[in-house]
A and B are shown apart, each in its own frame.
Chain A
């Protein structure tokens, strides 16, 4: 098999990764999570919890593969999904079976449902283009929870406030990469400038296609492929349908539907009015 990445390229990528700790300010930042490089070690989950001092989710043996934290929530801001499929990967010689891992996280959508719906202004868009919940302003109304098309944001039971990934806002301010990306041993989680990440991701898809993994594609990499969210600042490389990873195939923030809904209301109102006037005229005749 021909090398899909030269030694020089590999080293340059690593140098880039090492340099990703600096130059954060005033730039659009995000994650590119390449699930084909994920080994399901959960270092991201632990690094996230440690840096952000999050509590455990309880100690429940689920019997669902190696996933015992189940989903993203108020106290789990990175979550690794374990998917046992009765389907082979096209590049793997292991029978009709494969085990997929994917480290899920807040997508920091370009059009963010949570931010749209926050009545107090607690949720803001930062200078890094990330979506951030200010805990001192959040009043725990929970509108954001139902407005997230991914089910990411969640209220903590003890204090009622809404919590989610901050893209390690505090670390970014100090020119450091987010804890999960820093801890990821295989560079499955890549952090950096959004535009560069998109290029890297496109290249990676091309390389995977070249090596025979035709099923690889990007999820939410831009507004074109995901008009509902207008693109994700944390996007993914997947090898099966989004639903397999517990991701919505066509996510749309609910408030985005409000305009057409109001328009329909208006149309309906006009229609009813016309009908009423019409019938009035008819009656008069």
Chain B
């Protein structure tokens, strides 16, 4: 965190000065480790084994916060008889379909109850689902209750197993677990911070799930000083999921309609409106969004123009789209503020995709490697591809920096902070807002005279942001005002999402952001110092939802509404005034603690007065996820796609539901383990001095001089073994490509001892490539296309590679088979046979899975 989020780390250092214990778990010793109290080096890709070990420790030693667990989590829920755990199936859950390579999730449900997830794959259940007494066991003794299932699932994650799997000595592991437990309970809380070191795995989502289980068991969610903080990769990545640049979501986490299923607004609303919990409000948000986008054209009679929305036909996530490009299925591509040729796995396949396009638009500060893939690239250097044979027409637009435009950033704690334009952008540089606004205007003008019904969505779209100045740039405040929402009749900003209606009388661009322009004032621009207000600082900027600084903060009080302790008091029930009050806005339904939903309750009325997790259909924090995930209801340790070792925990080697791309020529895979050609483990990361794929830093002298060349980090032991010299050159190789890089020999990298075997890890930052002031070769060239099944995130945190001293041979044809001869089809006994139709199908979207009966 100190390495990649030095500014956020300010608060960690403040906490440390106040006596907090900082624990850093990372394969390498970073700037965070340098100031941490405990550093735990572990094998890249073994995070779930480590976190699972902590879960085991908490359960085994009865360190959980019992009252919190019983009342606020689904620990007591009874699971269906049909559910079988990985304990029974050597690493597979019940419901595995080896034909399709996917899970059927039906057996994962609570007994006699279908339940809607708050996120992930949604759509289907129709039954009201407040957890009834007959479906739960508050004593947590029933062998089929979640708590007991959890206990059994994690029983093999012992300190010894952690040592064998992660390379973390059992005593060190135990010290971490003890420190964590010691700092939890009514009087104390602990927080987790993570970044892509957890997410960029084929088990990425389950890593976070494991942390969620720990935090729920310890009572660290919804309480001050607790939580799980996702440290995002760029400024406002949180913002770009809230108002998404994701292919499958609309603003505010409303799913995009599915082409085969969501034929009209009624069906769509029915599918995604949970019978219980806050998602019962769904239609208010979907209709208000349609009113914001289609204005007067959207009426109740025409389904508020629901059919104008694009509908999903399959998985169009990044890697799939690039594979489709390479297959000639995609004509044009916008790349805005991203440099996928450097920042994404398998640069060779990325460029192959770009070469097959008709046109490419790149908006960036500099001509990045993505903008110039046709001129400078390894395959062009090798002579495999000639520039004159590439037909892609590339349009480059110089972009304005954040100091050159108004707008807001949304950070990891959901805080929207406004930034003001300081100077005009130079030359032809323009903001994204300006570009997209004018592109929309031009398209509207182009189709102005069209009578074709298919052009109506474009023509009916509201696109009337006030533009001003010589350049007629749109006013960012006008966009924020639309995002906040307004009453259609008088255009007055609404106070928040509770004011939104499903009858078309309100419009709102993103329901969770509703309130950010309350009273017509840009709430996100507030900058009152925290010493001039309460310690929660509600008048600094604005946070979603409803300016609440902490989600699910009802959990900071006990079931009767009293704070768990004075020290950790946050919100509580005021008996005298019969209302919820406290330091923050209560993130809760306005019901007294004693409220219990009647049997006929629907939507948010089903959330009881002691159910803090209002977005969940049952109001509980989910230790066990009965629906919404593709790869299992509980986190399970699987090895990454290309590991050095067999899975020490189960017969199943890798995440069975992972996404793979079977392309022999441009995406070959290594053996899942013990590949003799690739005996070392490579992991990638970032440095403080550079920004991601380098577009913002490699062209600046002051940053470039600080880290002027690509390098890999190796331990003295590996340097000895492979003949590497500090400051010298090394060549790294995978089946996809090979790169050369400088070597930094350092004790910050340590060989790990796993079950008598020594595992050498190589670390390499991925900032450099062939352009800019400082250059180098990018390790992402080495990685394959393979992804997590829930969110399609790539796996960059661990592959097996070869490292050799010296520079690489120029013009060598890597993929021709010279470097990586295909081994005979091996007996990967412990991994399932590949289900080859997986990536092509609508992964994560299975429309056919939605019950016919609900249509």
Chain B residue nearest to A55 in the complex (CB):
B701
A41 contacts B by Cβ under 8 Å: yes
Cβ–Cβ < 8 Å partners of B742 in chain A: 61, 63
How far is B5's CA from A186's CA once the two chains are assembled, in angstroms?
11
Q: Are A3 and B708 in contact (CB under 8 A)?
A: no
Interface string of A43-61 (1 = CB under 8 A from B): 1011001100001111111
Whole-angstrom distance from the CB of B737 to the nearest CB of chain A? 22
- Indicate with 1 or 0, residue by residue over B1-34, a CB within 8 angstroms of chain A CB atoms: 0100011011001100111010000000101111
> 18 A-B contacts, Cβ less than 8 Å apart?
A10-B17, A39-B6, A39-B32, A41-B6, A56-B701, A56-B702, A59-B709, A60-B708, A63-B743, A65-B744, A91-B37, A93-B172, A94-B33, A99-B31, A99-B748, A100-B34, A186-B6, A186-B9
| Interface-facing stretch out of B227-235, B528-536, B672-680, B804-812 | B528-536
In the bound assembly, the distance between CA atoms of A59 and B702 in angstroms comes to 10
Given known contacts A39-B2, A41-B6, A58-B705, is B19 in contact with A14 (CB within 8 Å)? no
**Does chain B have a CB within 8 A of A272?**
no
Which 8 interchain pairs have the tightest Cβ spacing?
A63-B727, A59-B708, A3-B19, A94-B39, A41-B6, A56-B701, A99-B34, A61-B709
B835: which A residues are within 8 A, CB to CB? none
Say whether B688 faces chain A, with CB atoms less than 8 Å apart. Answer: yes
Closest A residue, CB atoms, query B532:
A15
In angstroms, Cα B703 to Cα A50, docked, is: 11
Residues on A with C-beta less than 8 A from B38 are 92-94
Measured between beta carbons, the chain A residues less than 8 angstroms from B755 are none
CB distance from A271 to the nearest CB of B (A): 55
Given A66-B689, A92-B37, 13 extra CB contacts under 8 A: A1-B21, A6-B18, A11-B530, A36-B35, A37-B17, A61-B708, A61-B742, A65-B744, A65-B746, A84-B747, A94-B33, A97-B747, A97-B748
Q: B727 contacts A61, CB within 8 Å?
A: yes
Chain A 250-277, CB within 8 Å of chain B: the 1/0 string? 0000000000000000000000000000
Chain B residue nearest in CB terms to A58: B705
User: A101 vs B748: C-alpha distance in the bound complex, in angstroms?
Assistant: 14
Q: Which residues of A sit under 8 angstroms from B2, Cβ to Cβ?
A: 39-41
* A157 at interface, CB cutoff 8 A: no
Interface: B707 (CB within 8 A) = yes
Cα of A100 to Cα of B689 in the assembled complex, Å: 17
Assembled-state Cα–Cα distance A141/B38 (Å): 51
Residue of A nearest to B535 (CB): A7
Task: Please report the C-alpha to C-alpha distance between residue A59 and residue B21 in the assembled complex, in whole angstroms.
Answer: 38
Question: Nearest Cβ in chain A — how far from B19, in angstroms?
Answer: 4
Q: Which residues of A contact B744 (CB under 8 A)?
A: 63, 65
User: Taking the nearest CB of chain A, how far is it from the CB of B181, in angstroms?
Assistant: 15
B163-186, CB under 8 A of A: which get 1 and which 0? 000000000100100000000000
Report if B390 contacts A (CB, 8 A). no
Dominant secondary structure at the A interface = loop
- Chain A residue nearest to B12 (CB atoms) is A186
Task: Check A68 against B705 for contact (C-beta < 8 Å).
Answer: yes
Q: Does A233 contact B (CB under 8 A)?
A: no
Measured CB to CB, the closest approach of chain B to A238, in angstroms, equals 15
Q: Which residues of B contact A2 (CB under 8 A)?
A: 19
Which residues of B lie under 8 Å from residue A60 when comparing CB positions?
A: 708
Assess the A86–B21 pair: CB atoms within 8 A. Answer: no
The reply to whether B18 and A68 contact each other, CB–CB distance below 8 Å, is: no
Within 49-63 of B, Cβ neighbours of A (below 8 Å) are at none
A86-B746 Cα distance, complex, nearest whole Å = 11
When chains A and B are docked, how far (Å) is the Cα of A39 from the Cα of B11?
12
On chain A, the residues within 8 Å of B747 by CB distance are 84, 86, 97
A40 to B687, CA, bound (A): 11
| A61-B727, A66-B707, A93-B38 known; A41 vs B529 contact (CB < 8 Å) | no
With A93-B175, A185-B10, A186-B13 already in contact, the answer to whether A61 and B711 are too (CB < 8 A) is: yes
Docked Cα-Cα span, A18 to B529, in Å, equals: 10
Contacts of A187 in B (CB 8 A): 10, 13
B822 within 8 A of A: no
Contact A185 B6 (CB under 8 A): yes
Contact bitstring B709-720, A, C-beta under 8 A = 1, else 0: 101000000000
**A41/B37 in contact, CB under 8 A:** no
Q: How far is the CB of A26 from chain B (nearest CB, A)?
A: 27
Asked if A98 CB lies within 8 Å of chain B CBs, one says yes
Do B19 and A59 touch across chains, with their CB atoms under 8 A apart? Answer: no
> A91 CA to B19 CA in the complex, in Å?
12
Which residues of the partner chain B approach A11 to less than 8 Å between Cβ atoms? 530-531
B521 at the interface (CB under 8 A from A): no
Residue B726 is within 8 A (CB to CB) of chain A in the complex: yes
Q: With a 10 A CB-CB cut-off, give which of B175, B704, B708, B726 has the most chain A CB atoms.
A: B708
**A contact residues, total (Cβ < 8 Å):** 53
Q: Are A101 and B31 in contact (CB under 8 A)?
A: yes
**Distance, CA A272 to CA B102, complexed state (A):** 101
Contacts of A62 in B (CB 8 A): 727
Q: A41-B6, A94-B39 are in contact. Are A57 and B34 (CB under 8 A)?
A: no
Nearest CB in chain B: distance from A29 CB, A: 23
- Docked pose: A14 CA to B748 CA in angstroms: 33
Q: Contacts of A1 on B, CB cut-off 8 Å? A: 19, 21
Interface set, chain B 740-759, CB cutoff 8 A to A: 742-748, 750
Q: A1 CA to B23 CA in the complex, in Å?
A: 14
Contact of B19 with A46 in the complex, beta carbons under 8 Å: no
Contact partners of B711 in chain A: CB under 8 A: 61
Contact call A43/B29, Cβ cutoff below 8 A: no
Instruction: Determine whether B803 belongs to the interface, using a CB cutoff of 8 Å to chain A.
Output: no
Assess whether B531 is in contact with A14, with CB atoms less than 8 Å apart. yes
Interface residues of B in 677-702 (CB under 8 A from A): 687-689, 701-702
- Nearest-CB distance from B39 to chain A (Å)? 4
Q: Which residue of chain B has the shortest Cβ distance to A100 in the bound complex?
A: B34
- Tell me the smallest distance from the CB of A94 to a CB of chain B, in Å: 4
Kindly state whether residue A69 has any CB partner on chain B within 8 Å: yes
Which chain A positions have C-beta within 8 A of B33? 94, 99
- B758-782 CB contact bits vs A (8 Å, 1 = yes)? 0000000000000001100000000
Pair A98/B13 contact, Cβ less than 8 Å: no
Distance in angstroms from A171 CB to nearest chain B CB is: 18
- Give Cα A13–Cα B275 distance, bound, in whole angstroms: 51
Q: Quote the shortest CB–CB distance from B697 to chain A (angstroms).
A: 10
**Do B704 and A59 have beta carbons less than 8 Å apart?**
yes
Q: Report yes or no: B36 in contact with A68, Cβ–Cβ below 8 A.
A: no
How many angstroms between the C-alpha atoms of A15 and B531 in the bound complex?
7
**Is the pair B18, A42 in contact by a Cβ cutoff of 8 Å?**
no
Please tell me if B706 contacts chain A, counting CB pairs below 8 Å.
yes
Check if A282 is an interface residue, CB within 8 A of chain B. Answer: no
Q: In the bound complex, do residue B19 and residue A39 qualify as a contact, i.e. CB atoms below 8 Å apart?
A: no
Set A7, A59, A84: member contacting B748, Cβ < 8 A: A84
Is A93's CB under 8 angstroms from B37's CB? yes
A4 to B33, CA, bound (A): 21
Q: Which residue of A lies closest to B530 (CB)?
A: A11
- Roughly how many angstroms separate A46 CA and B688 CA in the complex, as a whole number? 12
- Binary B-proximity of A73-102 (CB < 8 A = 1, otherwise 0): 000000000001010000111110111110
What's the Cα separation between A36 and B37 when bound, in Å? 12
Contacts of B35 in A (CB 8 A): 36-37, 39
Residue contact B31 to A41, C-beta cutoff 8 Å: yes
Q: Is A224 an interface residue, CB under 8 A from the partner?
A: no
Are A42 and B688 CB-contacts (below 8 A) given A1-B21, A7-B18, A63-B744?
yes
Q: Does A280 contact B (CB under 8 A)?
A: no
Instruction: Give every chain A residue within 8 A of B531 (Cβ-Cβ).
Output: 11, 14-15
Is there an interface contact between B688 and A40, defined as CB atoms closer than 8 Å?
Answer: yes
If the complex has contacts A59-B774, A61-B727, are A39 and B21 also in contact, measured as CB distance less than 8 A? Answer: no
Q: Verify B39–A69 contact, CB threshold 8 A.
A: no
> Hey, which chain A residues are within 8 Å of B709, CB to CB?
59, 61
Q: Do residues B6 and A68 form an inter-chain contact, with CB atoms below 8 A?
A: no
Q: How far is the CB of A145 from chain B (nearest CB, A)?
A: 22
Taking the complex as formed, is A5 at the interface, i.e. its CB lies under 8 A from any CB of chain B? yes
Residues of A within 8 A of B10 (CB): 185-187
Could you say which residues of chain B place their CB within 8 Å of the CB of A92? 36-39
- Scan B464-485; emit 1 where CB is below 8 A from any A CB, else 0: 0000000000000000000000
